[in-house]
Amino acid sequence: MPPVFRFAPSPNGHLHLGHAYSALLNFDRARETGGRLLLRIEDIDMARCRPEYETAIYEDLAWLGIAWETPVRRQSEHLADYRAALEKLSALGLVYPAFESRAEIAKLVAAREGDGPWPRDPDGAPLYPGDANSLPAGERARLIASGVPYALRLDMAAACRQVSGLTWNEQGEGPDGERGLVAARPEAWGDVILARKETPTSYHLSVVVDDALQEVSDIVRGQDLFHATSVHRLLQALLGLTEPIYRHHGLIRGTDGRKLSKSNRSTGLRELRAAGMSPVGIRATVGLG
């Protein structure tokens, strides 16, 4: 079976040099190995994703000389697949509704920090501080019936009791030089969100469901997602999904040393193209000469 690669941007802004690097690495690697390249549009964040950004993704990738298989998978068209996965996790007793608003969560964290530092996840966000998992069943039912919106969270401690000793095969490199067999540490993320209040899934859930359904064998993506792989491996194990190989790559940074953002116009592919840069120039700029 030829290896299957994917590039999975979110249409919430225009692509920049960092996306070009990731997309070109996937494309080159697929070509070198006789593999397939898929494109997946990760558009579950309905508030931030826009059709014009999706159109721009196709144009910019084609301009770079990248070819991908069609049809493209758009996550917003596959909510039933994510629902099915959620139901499976629910049946394992690992999912609970959490009703707090963002402001209430921030308040809870602040209150807990009165007793010392509250733990943060690998991205620097505070772990879920609430106690929704221990709400009495009657209270939970009352809140649901009264229409209070809720997110669905993973009971991380219970999940880690069901599967432990998880690892992944890292053929790229983590931010601290991790490579080879890496031990997953999903507990570092706390009770992650599986379905948001405003959308019936989450990044973690949809990415593992899609990678499995699309039979992706090799995941080439930025080191900013290295630690998220721990959560992905846990969900794969719980859902009985196959384990891909991971190849995390270094990030292209701005002149200020920071990660590029979609709002930084000086590194946007459209701006660079308008300024006269060629696809060959983009390759050279990201070190793929």
Which residue ranges make up the site for ligand GLU (CB under 6 A)?
A: 8-10, 42, 207, 221, 225
Nearer to ligand GLU, 10 or 199 (CB): 10
CB of 132 to ligand GLU, least distance (A): 27
CB of 255 to ligand GLU, least distance (A): 22
CB of 193 to ligand GLU, least distance (A): 16
- 235-266 core/surface letters (b: 16 or more CB in 10 A; e: else): bbbbbebebbebbbbebbebeeeeebebebee
3-state helix, strand, coil in the chain (%, to 5): 45, 15, 40
Nearer to ligand GLU, 153 or 221 (CB): 221
Nearer to ligand GLU, 109 or 225 (CB): 225
CB of 264 to ligand GLU, least distance (A): 15
CB of 8 to ligand GLU, least distance (A): 4
Q: Which stretches of the chain are DSSP H helices?
A: 17-33, 51-64, 79-91, 102-113, 137-145, 156-162, 203-213, 228-239, 269-274, 279-285
CA distance 107 to 128: 12
Nearer to ligand GLU, 9 or 129 (CB): 9
Nearer to ligand GLU, 5 or 96 (CB): 5
